[in-house]
Amino acid sequence: MCDRRAAGGVLAALLTATALSGQALDSARLHHRADSLLALWREANTFAEVQQTLREDRRGQVGRQTRATAALRGENPVKAGDLMVIADFPDSIPLREAARRAWAILASTYAGEATVLVSQPIRLAVMFANRQPITVLSARRIRKNVSTEELERTLLGLAGQPRVDRRFSSWLGNTVRPVFDTAAEQSAVYVQLVTAGAAAATRCFEGSVAGCSAALQLAEDSEFYLTAFDALQRRTAVAGARSRQVLEPTALATYSLCVDHHVDSACVGFLHGIGAGQVPQPLSSQARNLLVSTALSLGGVDAYDRLMADSTAPVIARLERAAHAPIDKVVGEWRARIIAARPAVQGIPLRGAIVTLGWVGLIAIGAIRSTRWRLS
């Protein structure tokens, strides 16, 4: 009996040891595989970086060659800073002024990156009646009577925007865009602050920098609706986010608790379930882009390069680094600029009223002074 027990114990011990040694072998093998995968990933990354560098270098070389040959071929390129525009009839459009303005915006927004953006010259073909066929197919067609502003926008569009890392673009909702018409964009954000309907935006409008930070979602918090909205606004967000008909039973119960029974925890749970991307944002990407623009203008030269230097850093730290200022100062400056850009009230200025009355007087005198009775 005892022998049997001892044999059983030995057998069990052997089995356990085999299993353990097997497990140890498996983990070692998996570790080895993971290490080799990591090495492969690093190698692939290096190759990708080399490829990217070569591609950029090739593009740069092509750009340099095109730039060098443009003058030799008598294409009369128009240059502003590092921006070169080759148009087939450059004097028929306001190209020099538009190029100058476009480069000023690009350089002030993107600093060193602006040069990379415009490494390739921009080609334009001016369209008018009876012109010879366009030979350069890549050239962008431009109307002969294009205005300076339209041309400037076109040049900015053709230059494009530098890529932005994922973290920053998820917060911003886009790439960093140059602000073309600052006053108009700031006025639009002013209207957003008033009409957003988010408690944080209203606090911001009333003067709270913390409210502005919450409305701009600077904390990069996926549960921004806890600080940006109040309970009523969360309920409205839930009601607007989904239709009752498309919900599954469990989600419908939460939805009903939130919308019908006004239970805020249910609203929070529902918003958490649908994800931050589906929740209406307190302020648009335009507002956040203007904040970036404010930080860049405060930071001066190379601000954009500092903004993009560390793609792993939080947005707040990056904006502070770019602006050379604490975030409260950047946000405060942004708010001051937005409030100062309040759209003009719709009443008429005194000068406008006087001019209108002048027209009225002129026309009325014309009617009264006509002395002849004309019967035909």
Partner 1 sequence: MFRAILFQQWRWTRLIVALSTVAAFAIPLFSVRGSAANLEHKEAASFLGDVQSWGVLYPTLAGALGVLLAITLWTPDHRGRHVYALALPIPRWRLVTYRYLAGLTLLAAPVIGLTLGTLLASGTASLPTGLHAYPLGLSVRFALAAVVAFTLFFSVSSGTARTAGTILGAVAALVVFQVLLSAAGSEANILMPIVNVLLTAPGPFAIFTGRWMLVDV
Gap between the Cα atoms of 105 and 157, Å rounded: 12
What letter would DSSP give residue 91? G
For the window 203-222, what string marks contact with partner 1 as x by the rule CB under 8 A? --xx----------------
Q: Which among 65-73, 161-169, 216-224, 361-369 is the span making contact with partner 1, rule CB under 8 A?
A: 361-369
Q: Binding partner 1 by CB under 8 A: which of 243, 245, 250, 371?
A: 371
Q: Binding partner 1 by CB under 8 A: which of 51, 145, 175, 265?
A: 145
What letter would DSSP give residue 126? E
126: buried, middle or exposed (CB in 10 Å: 19+, 13-18, 0-12)?
A: buried
- Please state the closest distance from residue 107 (CB atom) to partner 1, in A: 33
For the window 151-190, what string marks contact with partner 1 as x by the rule CB under 8 A? ---------------------------------------x
- The answer to the question of residue 236 lying near partner 1 (CB under 8 A) is yes
Q: Binding partner 1 by CB under 8 A: which of 91, 128, 260, 302?
A: 128
The size of the chain, in residues, is 376
- The answer to the question of residue 374 lying near partner 1 (CB under 8 A) is yes
Q: Which residues contact 278 (CB under 8 A, 6 or more apart)?
A: 241
Interface size with partner 1, residues (CB under 8 A): 46
Query: In this structure, what are the phi and psi dihedrals at residue 84, rounded to the nearest 5 degrees?
Result: -120, 130
- The answer to the question of residue 147 lying near partner 1 (CB under 8 A) is no
Q: Which residues contact 128 (CB under 8 A, 6 or more apart)?
A: 89, 92, 144
Query: In this structure, what are the phi and psi dihedrals at residue 362, rounded to the nearest 5 degrees?
Result: -60, -50
Q: Binding partner 1 by CB under 8 A: which of 202, 254, 294, 297?
A: 202
What letter would DSSP give residue 371? -
- Please state the closest distance from residue 198 (CB atom) to partner 1, in A: 7
- Please state the closest distance from residue 146 (CB atom) to partner 1, in A: 11
Gap between the Cα atoms of 349 and 369, Å rounded: 30
Beta partners for 83?
80
- Please state the closest distance from residue 236 (CB atom) to partner 1, in A: 5
- Please state the closest distance from residue 263 (CB atom) to partner 1, in A: 18
- The answer to the question of residue 4 lying near partner 1 (CB under 8 A) is no
Query: In this structure, what are the phi and psi dihedrals at residue 141, rounded to the nearest 5 degrees?
Result: -80, 135
